[in-house]
């Protein structure tokens, strides 16, 4: 077998440098910003319909009170506190307070079931648990007997709990009151505790979603985060000004929003706007019109399909105007990709398209002021990136993972290659291994999995290379491309290696498909399970008078099955015969983030789907139904 290995690739882009940061831990960065920025606004959250603002000084005071409250209850440096909440201001306060007191902060997904919450608290040895509200509190109460380490549970929102009299439960306000008293006795507490931590200490625990087996707690040190931040400023922002509005809504327990939403915002002196709840993301986006917007592909897909559907229902004139304007944009994008400069007339036409049409679209979706648009955490279709560029949203793709503290590669401004995840950021080394796996080395590579030295050794080899588990290649310009996850590669009964996600991503570009899982390991041919996009398929069916009532009947309508079949055939044409899908089935259950089949970022879990739908899968292989 020929070796797939590449030489070591590092950042070659001019201006991409590792900054020297005047702090070496996360809390020190925060407190430095509090001193510098004082009364400027750090964050906003909507309360009963009004955006409520908190200055850096306000947050500093709150954080010191929460921290002192924890210490008064016995919190010691190096201990772990967990946060179980949706993305909100209190999440960030708790994180900063825990770290300011020398502790380690661990995030738990609010969609996790009680048993998972129990496992994560036990595995991380959490001594405090912050919960959002009564719903999340109940997850603790259900399993409290098995959580003897947890000394106190702090509740952000006490609505419905005022009658609760439980010595283990305290409200955030009560904790702050304890902290205020404690601070009078120990006014130097924050300074003292900041000194207890150095760069090598663990700052946060991030549990990887664990598509196979139990989740693993990645230990991320202050130095890991600072390395990632030091590299991010120049490569991510490429000369954009500091400050500006941001919208935060992805789960903060995920490394991406924790870094980009919280720590990068602190570094870049931005204002964080928290959405009211996960359902109001698009409405809040319109209100805030952020300068920086980071989202996962699913959100970018949703914004696009909102526009596409609005246009479909608009008048003839609007439809023509939209097609013309986006066509002008697309032509410009094509030219840029080919490395050519557009002529004056073409620039004028695009300027007109922007003025007359596109700016309205941008305002409607809330992206009119966006300077940095970023996607990551999952693969995205190149066609979608081109559409955003056509409407003047410079959408860039970043690649990173929990184990790299979010750092890795990013597509440079104006020099992206669709389909590529970009070039390595400053300060990291990357290469392709003999087996074709992408390896990475650098300061942002995590320090190991909690309590799992053998798993750590599997991930980081003796030379310090992190084995990312992604299979890919690198081109002559140093751009990386991902073909698949190493463990997802399918070897068919015929001995052919197939990378399923390439095929799946092509199918996901269809507006009627949300997600798909290709099956075929040790099988004669490939098949797949498809999760349809309910909104779009329902609208399609209604438009064509296809009768359906509930979700199951929608999935069973022969016309819908045919529609998905057509989408699959279309994708099949782009692949070689052995890589084509011969059979498929629709998942007839509507899945939500609470379901075990989906990761919190709403991706289907391959191994679990394989197990759970075994019967459905067998059905595609048993009968000669083809």
Partner 1 sequence: MSDDILLSLANVESSYGPIKAIRGVSLKVRKGEIATVLGSNGAGKSTILKTISGVLDPTRGTVMFKGADITGHDPAEIVRGGLAHVPEGREVFPLLSVHDNLLMGAYTRSDKDGVARDIEQVYTYFPILRERERQDAGLLSGGQQQMLSISRALMARPELILLDEPSLGLSPKLTKEIFEIVVRINRERGTTILLVEQNANMALNAADYGYVLENGRIVMEDRCEVLREKDDIREFYLGMKDTGVRGERRWKKKKTWR
User: Which residues form the interface with partner 1 (CB under 8 A)?
Assistant: 133-135, 138, 141-142, 159-160, 164, 538, 541-542, 545-553, 589-590, 592, 594
| Comparison of 216 and 605: residue with beta carbon closer to partner 1 | 605
- Min dist. Cβ of residue 33 to partner 1 (A): 35
- Min dist. Cβ of residue 156 to partner 1 (A): 14
| Backbone phi, psi, residue 625, to 5° | -80, -10
- Min dist. Cβ of residue 281 to partner 1 (A): 16
Cα angle 96-102-103, degrees, rounded to a multiple of 5: 75
- Min dist. Cβ of residue 123 to partner 1 (A): 22
| Comparison of 133 and 470: residue with beta carbon closer to partner 1 | 133
Cα angle 93-448-106, degrees, rounded to a multiple of 5: 20
- Min dist. Cβ of residue 146 to partner 1 (A): 13
- Min dist. Cβ of residue 133 to partner 1 (A): 7
- Min dist. Cβ of residue 398 to partner 1 (A): 31
| Comparison of 541 and 609: residue with beta carbon closer to partner 1 | 541
Return the SS3 of 305: helix
| Comparison of 162 and 624: residue with beta carbon closer to partner 1 | 162
| Comparison of 122 and 141: residue with beta carbon closer to partner 1 | 141
| Comparison of 110 and 392: residue with beta carbon closer to partner 1 | 110
First to last CA, the chain: 35
Torsion of CA 578, 579, 585, 591, to 10 degrees: 160
Residue 161 Cα distances to 128, 164, 170, angstroms = 19, 5, 10
| Comparison of 142 and 521: residue with beta carbon closer to partner 1 | 142
| Comparison of 118 and 201: residue with beta carbon closer to partner 1 | 118
- Min dist. Cβ of residue 189 to partner 1 (A): 34
| Comparison of 58 and 535: residue with beta carbon closer to partner 1 | 535
In whole angstroms, give the CA distance from residue 34 to residue 56: 5
CB atoms within 10 A of CB 185: 9
Sole residue written with tokens 């991320």: 220
- Min dist. Cβ of residue 421 to partner 1 (A): 34
- Min dist. Cβ of residue 366 to partner 1 (A): 24
CB 583 within 8 Å of CB 620? yes
- Min dist. Cβ of residue 160 to partner 1 (A): 4
Tokens of 165: 């009299």
Within 81-162, where are the H helices?
A: 89-100, 114-124, 134-142
Return the SS3 of 192: helix
| Comparison of 36 and 166: residue with beta carbon closer to partner 1 | 166
Sole residue written with tokens 């080899």: 461
Q: Is 427 left (phi over 0), alpha (psi -120 to 50) or beta?
A: left
- Min dist. Cβ of residue 47 to partner 1 (A): 19
DSSP one-letter string for 568-612: HHHHHTTS-GGGSEEEEEE--S---TTSTTB-TTS-B-HHHHHHH
CB 16 within 8 Å of CB 413? no
CB atoms within 10 A of CB 517: 25
In whole angstroms, give the CA distance from residue 82 to residue 117: 10
Q: Which residues pair with 429 in a beta bridge?
A: 441
| Comparison of 61 and 113: residue with beta carbon closer to partner 1 | 113
In whole angstroms, give the CA distance from residue 550 to residue 540: 15
Tokens of 118: 């129990």
Q: Which residues contact 145 (CB under 8 A, 6 or more apart)?
A: none
| Comparison of 454 and 545: residue with beta carbon closer to partner 1 | 545
Nearest to 85, CA basis, from 140, 130, 25? 130
């Amino acid at each position: 077998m020929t070796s797939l290995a590449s030489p070591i690739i590092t950042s070659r882009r001019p201006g991409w440098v590792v900054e020297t940061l005047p702090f070496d831990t996360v809390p020190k960065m925060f407190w430095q910003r509090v001193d510098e920025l004082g009364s400027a606004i750090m964050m906003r959250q909507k309360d009963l319909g009004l955006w409520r603002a908190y200055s850096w000084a306000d947050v500093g005071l709150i954080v010191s009170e929460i921290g002192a409250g924890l210490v008064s209850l016995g919190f010691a440096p190096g201990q772990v506190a967990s946060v179980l909440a949706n993305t909100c201001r209190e999440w960030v306060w708790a994180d900063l307070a825990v770290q300011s007191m020398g502790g380690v902060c661990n995030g738990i997904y609010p969609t996790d079931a009680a048993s998972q919450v129990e496992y994560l608290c036990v595995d991380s040895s959490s001594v405090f648990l912050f919960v959002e509200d009564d719903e999340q509190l109940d997850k603790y109460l259900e399993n409290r007997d098995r959580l003897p380490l947890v000394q106190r549970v702090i509740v952000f929102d006490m609505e419905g709990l005022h009658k609760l009299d439980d010595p283990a439960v305290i409200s955030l306000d009560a904790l702050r009151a304890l902290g205020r008293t404690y601070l009078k006795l120990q006014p130097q507490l924050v300074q003292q505790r900041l000194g207890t931590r150095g760069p090598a200490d663990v700052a946060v625990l991030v549990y990887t979603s664990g598509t196979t087996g139990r989740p693993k707690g990645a230990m991320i040190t202050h130095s890991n985060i600072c390395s990632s931040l030091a590299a991010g400023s120049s490569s991510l922002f490429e000369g954009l000004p500091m400050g500006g509005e941001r919208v935060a809504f992805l789960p903060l327990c995920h490394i991406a929003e924790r870094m980009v939403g919280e720590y990068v915002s602190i570094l870049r002196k931005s204002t964080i706007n928290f959405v009211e709840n996960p359902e109001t993301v698009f409405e809040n986006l319109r209100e805030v019109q952020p300068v920086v917007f980071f989202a996962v592909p699913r959100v970018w897909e949703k914004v696009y399909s909102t526009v596409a559907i609005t246009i479909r229902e608009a008048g003839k004139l609007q439809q023509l105007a939209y097609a013309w304007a986006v066509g002008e944009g697309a032509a410009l994008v094509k030219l840029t990709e080919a490395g050519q400069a557009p002529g004056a007339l073409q620039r004028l036409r695009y300027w007109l398209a922007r003025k007359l049409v596109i700016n309205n679209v941008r305002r409607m979706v809330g992206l009119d002021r966006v300077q940095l648009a970023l996607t990551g955490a999952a693969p995205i279709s190149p066609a979608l990136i081109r559409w955003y560029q056509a409407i003047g949203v410079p959408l860039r793709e970043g690649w990173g993972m929990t184990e790299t503290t979010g750092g890795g590669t990013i597509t440079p401004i104006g020099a992206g290659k669709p389909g590529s995840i970009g070039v390595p950021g400053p300060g990291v080394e990357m290469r392709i291994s003999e087996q074709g796996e992408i390896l990475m080395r650098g300061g942002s590579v995590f320090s190991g999995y909690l309590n799992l030295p053998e798993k750590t050794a599997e991930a980081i080899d003796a030379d310090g290379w992190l084995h990312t588990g992604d299979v890919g290649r690198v081109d002559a310009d140093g751009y990386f491309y991902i073909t698949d996850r190493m463990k997802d590669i399918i070897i068919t009964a015929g001995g052919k290696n197939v990378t399923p996600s390439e095929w799946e991503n092509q199918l996901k570009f269809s507006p009627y498909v949300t997600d798909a899982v290709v099956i075929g390991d040790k099988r004669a041919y490939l098949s797949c399970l498809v999760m349809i996009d309910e909104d779009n398929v329902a609208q399609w069916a209604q438009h064509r008078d296809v009768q359906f009532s509930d979700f199951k009947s929608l999935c069973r309508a022969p016309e819908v099955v045919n529609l998905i079949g057509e989408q699959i055939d279309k994708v099949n044409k782009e692949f070689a015969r052995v890589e084509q899908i011969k059979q498929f089935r629709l998942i007839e259950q509507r899945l939500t983030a609470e379901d075990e089949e989906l990761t919190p970022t709403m991706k289907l879990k391959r191994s679990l789907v394989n197990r759970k739908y075994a019967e459905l899968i067998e059905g595609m292989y048993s009968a000669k139904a083809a």
